[in-house]
Amino acid sequence: MQDPFRLDGRTVVVTGASRGIGAELARCIASQGGSVVLVARTANAIDALSAELPTESAVVVGDVADSEVAARAVEAATEIGELWGLVNNAGINPYYHPLLDTPLSEWDEVLQVNLLGAAAFARAVARALVDQSTGGRIINIGSIAGLTGLPNIGPYNASKAALDAMTRTLAVELGPHGILVNSVAPGTISTDMVDELLEANPALRERLVAKTPIGRVAETPEAVWPIVFLLSDAASFVTGQVLVADGGRLAAG
């Protein structure tokens, strides 16, 4: 029997691939035989990652909020081979204060990247997949922040909840084309985004760990393998879902 988790011959666009979850995801896709289009603003990081990967890869330097970047990523994928999927992973969470103190400019900045950037990439990739008539996958990286009311990161929470809503709509609209669309909602994963916040707030780290039944922050691969599963044939009847990888945090209430 063929291994249903392999991604041989499949090309996946990964946004936010310069570090953290996106970079590790690119390594794991390549380890399963897939090719990767690496998208981020930091050219030297994705160039170095591209050189390290064992399968074919391409580099697209740009801001996901610029819709021309999505078109360039699709073009780069089709130059490698047949496009198979997209992981909308690029995201920012730069502010930490109550909504009452949040200027609309901060809402705008977070939504431009986390939501509108993801919408532009999903549209560009979905159009290409529909044209190819091959089916495919779109995975949006949400967060448990989109499923709860975590304080002090209101625009981030809203952006992630909206991504889950977009996932469900796309799953319904694209299902007849064989394109499966899901979200992954990680809990707290040790990456630059989180480590900086937790180093500045040791009490917050203690609170987060205390609320997590598994009793720790996750390592990056623990957020990545559920994404690889959703990209693979092992998930061929899963669509419109939010896969929560949070060490039991939401289950604990």
Ligand X SMILES: NC(=O)c1ccc[n+]([C@@H]2O[C@H](COP(=O)([O-])OP(=O)(O)OC[C@H]3O[C@@H](n4cnc5c(N)ncnc54)[C@H](OP(=O)(O)O)[C@@H]3O)[C@@H](O)[C@H]2O)c1
Positions touching ligand X (CB under 6 A) are 15-22, 40-42, 45, 63-65, 89-93, 113, 141, 143, 186, 188-189, 191-194
Identify the bridge partners of residue 36 per DSSP, sorted by sequence position.
Answer: 12, 57
Please tell me whether residue 248 adopts helix, strand or coil conformation. Answer: coil
Burial class (CB in 10 A: 0-12, 13-18, 19+), 73: buried
4 or 97: CB nearest ligand X = 97
- The DSSP code for 215 is -
Smallest separation (angstroms) from ligand X to the CB of 53: 15
Q: CA 205 → CA 38, 48, 164, 189, distances in Å?
A: 31, 32, 26, 11
2 or 105: CB nearest ligand X = 105
Could you list the active site residues? 156
Smallest separation (angstroms) from ligand X to the CB of 174: 21
92 or 99: CB nearest ligand X = 92
8 Å CB contact between 90 and 22: yes
146/131 Cα distance (integer angstroms): 32
Smallest separation (angstroms) from ligand X to the CB of 239: 20
